[in-house]
Amino acid sequence: MNRGVETLAKNWEDWSDLLANSSDSSKEYSDAMDGTKDAMADLLDINKDFISEGFIKDHLAEIGEAAKGSETAIDGLKAALAEDIIARVMIENGITDEN
């Protein structure tokens, strides 16, 4: 977890700007997204394949707070990621609330 916070702290200013303002198809955007996913995987102790691009883009502010070491932000990101993973599994498997 500490490595994830350190990596975010060092890179978040640049990465967040690229993620918010660059074309999704640019190399800079791709590098920033990949770096963010790696750092988030370390931070949340999960394989980066479980972290979607949409999750990153939807939680830029919280990730910024986590980069400053906010435990509240980190806990919130853990909870939000769990919900995101469950929702994606349900969608990918055609599971609805009615099943």
pLDDT value at residue 84 = 93
- The more confidently predicted of residues 81 and 91 is 81
* Predicted model pTM: 0.88
Span 77-85, mean pLDDT? 95
46 secondary structure, DSSP code? S
Q: Which of 59, 57, 67, 68 is nearest to 29 (CA)?
A: 57
Asked whether the predicted pLDDT for residue 99 surpasses 70, the reply is no
Query: Which pLDDT belongs to residue 95?
Result: 87
User: Averaged over 51-62, what is the pLDDT?
Assistant: 96
Q: What is the mean pLDDT of residues 66-89?
A: 95
**HSE-CB of 10 using CA atoms within 13 angstroms:** 8
Calpha distance 12→88 (Å, rounded): 26
